[in-house]
Amino acid sequence: MIEIRVHGRGGQGGVIASKILAYAFSIEGKSVQAFPEFGVERRGAPVTAFIRVSDKHINVRSKIYEPMHLIVLEPTLVTAIDITEGLKEGGFIIINTKRTPEEVHLKKTGSKIATVDATGIALKYRLGSSAAPIVNTAILGAFAKATGFVKIESIVTAIKKEVPIKPDENAKAAEEAFNSTIM
Amino acid sequence: MSTQKVLMGNHALSWGAVTSRVQVISAYPITPQTQVVELLSEMCTDGTLDAEFIKVESEHSAMAACIGASAAGARTFTATSAQGLALMHEMLHWAVGGRLPVVMGNINRAMAPPWTIWTEQTDSLSQRDTGWLQVYASSNQEVYDSVLMAYKIAENRKVSLPMMIVLDAFFLSHTSENVIMIDQNKADAYLPKYDPEFKLDVKNPHTFGGLTTPDWYMELRYNIQKGMDDSYQVIRDAQSEFKSVFGRDYGMVEEYKCEDADVILVGMATAASTGKESIDILRNKGVKAGLLRIRYFRPFPFEDVRRVLKNAKQILVLDRNLSPGLGGITFQEVKSAMYNEKNKPPIYGFIMGLGGRDITVESITNLFEHAKKNDPQDIIWMEVKK
């Protein structure tokens, strides 16, 4: 079983990212769960979403407290909150930032860090507005590259199916992120 | 090849209504309403679904509109939650008395005050005496499949009663997961058009629910109970036909490793799904543990419950609900089911997870730990701050 936590800010598409990623895994025959933090969301406030992936039917239906992997949509969250809370060692952390993995400093050091400039890519493809670019599809390309858990083709198919606005541009953003991930 | 979607529980309900070709949907679109009817309203607008969407000013009116449409012979659907369901209470009785097979999705949410949106079963279990059939789901596949089966069961002339499909807030309603979609042609063959024995017809005028004196009221109540009695077989037939056509197997209850179990946990909904993992952990430690998930709460599956529990040495009941002054509501039903049995295993009544507090694998293994060390009690509060 793979357990992933997504960090973002309300309005960035973190919850949608969790659904697209779950859908991509389902294309490859996996059982999936994707869910938001159970509660009410506010634009701009830190939000989390969760994904479970398994080869077998997933019976567990409680929340995820100790994820193995993180996807971080918003670079400012790295210093604003402890994104590594409950994180297990040995997984991947995918961060949207212009920095290299060596330049990212986290409380815990037991994970492999990968970075990608998802904001720059989202701006290039005009996803969202220039003030609030939508980075959720780009970062999934980086997730596919860094982890190798899911094919980029499945991410692209899932984006084209699940994203109602600019599906082709979103798919290209994911591919570009896949090719520009720093590990 | 069957199509697969990744759907949240709310949308599994919506798609279930689409697959069942519902003709009239009525709903009140404000909190505590969910995305169930939001998606349906979009589908009615864009033509995906050929149905009449009636937006009303309250849940009471939503059910009233469903009752009217159902009496006119239409297949009707609505969805609600918590306070909305409570506001429908009067109309729930009307649907039963009118013998109208309205199908409704209810997202289990705790009752206010204090204001809350998280899961608990007290809202739907408070409606247990209205005469609605109730089925509790533990996955979104089950939510989706249950809608199609619900119409098949409710519209059967031996039953002719409304039915509620119940799912946990957030743990199903907002969780997206794999759902295998049903081929529409196969769905149409499984569920033919609604063909009521009686309906409102201007060419043959009569009415539903007119004044009935003591000469006949009791006979109508007798018939409602008979509809419930007969529904057991109708449910089993609907489930077995569903299995032969669509391959998925549902019972009135779900049994998990109960055959040789000494200690059996009884629960409902998603907590009982998580509980399967707890059973596996206990089995690995040598504890002969099993789990019985109640799917149908009305009609209550007395026979199945007795059959599964009669050889157990201990019965643990997990209730995510509370009837103040009594305790857990499932506990009460399980206890009464076992009263006339020769072997009466001790029964523990656990209250846990109210107001959406998470029930983890560990929470459930702890129930077995508690029962190992303590005598049975009717109300045992778990994980409560005192």
- Shortest Cα distance, chain A CAs vs residue B277, angstroms: 7
- Mutation pick from B11, B142, B177 vs chain A, by most beta carbons of A within 10 Å, is B177
Domain that holds residue A19: 2-180
Interchain pair B175, A34: CB under 8 A: yes
What's the CATH number where A22 sits? 3.40.920.10
SS (H, E, C) chain B: CCCEEEEEHHHHHHHHHHHCCCCEEEECCCCCCCHHHHHHHHHHHHCCCCCEEEECCCHHHHHHHHHHHHHCCCCEEEEEEHHHHHHCHHHHHHHHHCCCCCEEEEEECCCCCCCCCCCCCHHHHCCCCCCCEEEECCCHHHHHHHHHHHHHHHCCCCCCCCEEEEEECCCCCCCEEEEECCCHHHHHHHCCCCCCCCCCCCCCCCCCCCCCCCCCHHHHHHHHHHHHHHHHHHHHHHHHHHHHHHCCCCCCEEEECCCCCCEEEEECHHHHHHHHHHHHHHHHCCCCEEEEEECEEECCCHHHHHHHHCCCCEEEEEECCCECCCECHHHHHHHHHHCCCCCCCCEEEEECCHHHCCCCHHHHHHHHHHHHHCCCCCCEECCCCC
Three-state DSSP state, A48: strand
Q: What is the pLDDT of residues B91-143, one digit of tens each?
A: 999 999 999 999 999 999 999 999 999 999 999 999 999 999 999 999 999 99
Residue range B216-274, pLDDT digits in tens: 999 999 999 999 999 999 999 999 999 999 999 999 999 999 999 999 999 999 999 99
Asked if B225 and B264 sit in the same domain, the reply is no
**Do B157 and B241 have their domain in common?**
yes
- Pair B340, B234 in one domain: no
Residue B287 in any domain: the answer is yes
Domain containing residue B291: 253-381
Residues B229 and B155 in one domain: yes
Q: Which two tokens stand for residue A18?
A: 């969790």
Q: What's the whole-number mean pLDDT along residues A103-120?
A: 92
Query: What is the reported pLDDT for A44?
Result: 80
| pLDDT over threshold 60, residue B1 | no
CA of A182 to nearest chain B CA: how many angstroms apart? 30
> Number of CB pairs < 8 Å for A and B?
64
**What's the number of domains chain B is made of?**
2
Q: Is B202 in the same domain as B53? A: yes
Domain annotation covers residue B386: no
Dist. CA B151–CA B20, nearest whole Å: 8
Per the CB < 8 A criterion, the answer to whether B134 and B166 are in contact is yes
Instruction: Identify whether residues B222 and B195 lie together within a single domain.
Output: yes
**Has residue B92 been placed in a domain?**
yes
Number of structural domains found in chain A: 1
Same domain for B104 and B210, yes or no, is: yes
Mean pLDDT calculated for residue range B80-84: 96
Query: Given a cut of 90, is residue B327 above it in pLDDT?
Result: yes
Residues B291-303: b if buried by 16+ CB within 10 A, e if exposed: bbbbbbbbbbbee
Which of A62, A66, A155 best tests the B interface by mutation, with the highest count of B CBs <10 A? Answer: A62
